């Protein structure tokens, strides 16, 4: 299977196009005006004027001219006086001023002042985590990348989190023991949650072999925010593809704990989407057709419009 085919010509653009024209017709004048703003106050404070009758007029507070410009271009509700505060909306039990979470102590949850629904309206979509799971070589990254290109063509904002890429940075200190695999999924699950909470369609491509780890991520998200995409491709086909040569090394004993060979993969019992490599007639299903299935699901479930949150 080719890596990340950029061509989405075979994907039905009508699925995305229904809202695309509406999005293009929007003119975010307020945002454009804010982008053009420049501070106008002098970087150096002026010296007081001596010897004038009545003294000098009080200087404006730094940034006051910027605030006046903002008030001239933003709706009144966007600059309340005083502004809407960010709140600690999850009080500590028994009236305490702090509480513990895991190994962290003396912390509180700080609720942001911008509602999630307003971010959805800004982006014209709903945040969601698309969790691609399956054996190595099942096409997770290829289909996720193809889908991301299709979503971009439709004007949707996305983030793609790939298992190999994340291990170059955030998870570079983790190996492939069961404990490290669990922590690998926990970390990326939290990252994906942060993206989706801010309205981003988040594509996560991880083998994630253990059901309990995937379920733990699902449990951290609100209902409907976690969509499990099971790449149901038999190991024989994955091994035939072997794009990284890992199956060959695992069979030769050069890699230990390889999923599908000497480490288990637990199939999801009821994923939202099951993608298969061959159709009912036994013909090969290309990545574009697989991405089309997911795109249709997103459209039908209302993720491609702001909707109600």
pLDDT value at position 108?
A: 75
The more confident residue out of 84 and 254 is 254
Q: Residue 66 CB: number of other CB atoms within 10 A?
A: 14
Give the pLDDT confidence score for residue 51 in this predicted structure.
46
Among residues 208, 270, 308, 309, the one annotated as catalytic is: 208
Name the H helices within 81-225: 116-123, 140-153, 163-166, 178-197, 211-220
Q: What is the mean pLDDT of residues 97-119?
A: 75
pLDDT attached to residue 93: 47
Query: What is the strand order of the sheet 201-205 is part of?
Result: 158-162, 201-205, 128-133, 226-232, 273-276
Helix or strand (DSSP H, E) at 159: strand 158-162
Residue 144 pLDDT greater than 90, yes or no? yes
Of 3.40.50.360, 3.20.20.220, 3.40.600.10, 3.40.50.300, which CATH number belongs to 125-300?
Answer: 3.40.50.300
What pLDDT shows up at residue 40? 44
| pLDDT at site 289 | 96
Q: What pLDDT shows up at residue 207?
A: 94
CA-nearest of 110, 109, 128 to 119 is 128
Cβ count near 69 (within 10 Å): 17
66 or 285, which is more confident?
285
Residue-level length of the chain: 309
Q: pLDDT (tens digit, 9 = 90+) per residue, 241-250? A: 998 999 999 9
The answer to whether 246 and 256 are in contact (CB under 8 A) is no
Half-sphere exposure of 28 (CA within 13 A, CB side): 11
pLDDT number for residue 104: 74
* Structure-model confidence comparison of residues 214 and 44, the more confident one: 214
Which residue did the predictor score with more confidence, 41 or 21? 21
Looking at residues 3-24, what average pLDDT do you find? 60
Least confident of 19-33, 173-187, 198-212, 219-233: 19-33
Asked if 233 and 137 count as a contact pair (C-beta separation under 8 A), the reply is: yes
Residue 293's closest CA among 139, 160, 164?
139
Give 180-186's long-range contacts (Cβ < 8 A, gap of 24+).
181/209, 181/210, 181/213, 182/210, 182/213, 185/210, 185/213, 185/214, 185/216, 185/217, 186/213, 186/216, 186/217
- Please compute the mean of the pLDDT values over residues 196-200 and round it to a whole number: 96
Say whether pLDDT at 261 is over 50: yes
208 is annotated as an active-site residue: yes
pLDDT number for residue 62: 52
Task: Round the average pLDDT of the chain to a whole number and report it.
Answer: 80
Give yes or no for a contact between 147 and 295, defined as CB atoms under 8 angstroms apart.
Answer: yes
Pairwise CA distance, residues 301 & 299, whole Å: 5
Residue of 150 and 97 predicted with greater confidence: 150
Tell me the percentage of the chain whose pLDDT exceeds 70: 67
pLDDT attached to residue 107: 74
Kindly tell me the sign of the dihedral angle through the C-alpha atoms of 14, 18, 19, 23: positive
pLDDT category at 103 given cuts 50, 70, 90 is: confident
CA distance 295 to 276: 15
* CA-based nearest residue to 38, from 66, 5, 7, 76: 66
β-strands 273-276, 226-232 pairing: parallel
Number of Cβ atoms within 10 Å of the Cβ of 56: 11
* DSSP type of residue 103: T
Position 30 scores a pLDDT of 43
Supply the pTM of this predicted model. Answer: 0.72
Domain extents for the chain?
Answer: 16-35+65-96+106-113, 125-300
89: tokens are 């909306």
């Amino acid at each position: 299977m080719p890596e990340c085919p950029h061509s989405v010509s075979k994907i039905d653009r009508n699925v995305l196009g229904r809202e695309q024209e509406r999005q293009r017709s929007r003119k975010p004048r307020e945002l454009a005006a804010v982008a053009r703003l420049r501070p106008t106050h002098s970087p150096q404070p002026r010296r007081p004027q001596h010897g004038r009758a009545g003294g000098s007029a009080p200087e404006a507070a730094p940034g006051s001219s910027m605030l006046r410009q903002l008030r001239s271009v933003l709706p009144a509700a966007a600059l309340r006086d005083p502004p809407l505060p960010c709140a600690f909306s999850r009080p500590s039990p028994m009236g305490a001023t702090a509480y513990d979470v895991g190994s962290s102590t003396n912390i509180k949850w700080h609720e942001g002042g911008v509602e999630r629904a307003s971010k959805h309206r800004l982006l014209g979509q709903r945040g969601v985590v698309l969790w691609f799971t399956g054996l190595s070589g099942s096409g997770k990254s290829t289909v996720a990348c193809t889908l991301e290109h299709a979503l971009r063509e439709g004007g949707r904002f996305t983030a793609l989190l790939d298992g190999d890429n994340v291990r170059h940075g955030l998870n570079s200190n983790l190996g492939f023991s069961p404990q490290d695999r669990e922590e690998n999924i926990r970390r990326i699950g939290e990252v994906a949650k942060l993206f989706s909470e801010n309205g981003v369609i988040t594509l996560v491509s991880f083998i994630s072999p253990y059901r309990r780890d995937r379920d733990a991520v699902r449990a951290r998200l609100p209902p409907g925010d976690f969509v499990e995409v099971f790449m149901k491709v038999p190991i024989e086909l994955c091994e035939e593809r072997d794009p990284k040569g890992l199956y060959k090394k695992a069979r030769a004993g050069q890699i230990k704990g390889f999923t599908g060979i000497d480490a288990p993969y637990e199939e999801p019992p009821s994923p939202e989407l099951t993608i298969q490599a061959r159709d009912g007639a036994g013909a090969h299903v290309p990545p574009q057709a697989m991405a089309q299935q997911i795109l249709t699901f997103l459209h039908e479930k209302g993720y491609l419009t702001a909707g109600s949150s």
